[in-house]
Amino acid sequence: MNVLHHADLPAEQPHVRRRVALVAHDHKKQDLLEWAQFNRSILARHDLIGTGTTGALIERELGLPVALLHSGPVGGDLQLGARIVDGLIDILLFFWDPLEPQPHDPDVKALLRIAVVWNLPVACNRATADFLISSPLLDSQYSRFLPEYPPAAAIERLSMRAVG
């Protein structure tokens, strides 16, 4: 098991670039923007990925480069989920709105589910985002534990045996 504890961290760490995904629902975009402005100097040391409108907003207002995906409702959440599965995202900051129905709610749930499946650090609000961004693990050589899943072909063979 690949686990690093805070006490195991050396005093000086070389800088590690994380791939940080930024997503916010409409009523939470201002919240994420204010949080990102406050943490701009930290975010500038990492690679940022954002869904459509959120990513463009962060790029414009902070002047930082953001790899832009599609907007969430037209597939951006699914693109982000695929990147998580492929190991291309290290942290997900997803300020979602629990009080507002979303037309793409199944995609939202799928994104949150896949982040948990792959043991990805996720912040859904400012308080949790503060904890993540201020963690000494952010700039360390920390590698999260990745579950081992059988390849899709093996799962298909097992399910076919159960049917046949």
Q: Is 139 a catalytic residue?
A: no
Spatial separation of the C-alpha atoms in residues 70 and 50, rounded to whole Å = 9
DSSP 3-state of 122: strand
* C-beta of residue 51 within 8 angstroms of C-beta of residue 71: yes
Q: Of these residues, 8, 31, 47, 77, which one is catalytic? A: 77
C-beta of residue 122 within 8 angstroms of C-beta of residue 112 = yes
User: How many Cβ atoms sit within 10 Å of the Cβ of residue 104?
Assistant: 18
23 vs 58: CA distance, rounded Å: 10
The residue type at 93: L
Active site residues: 77
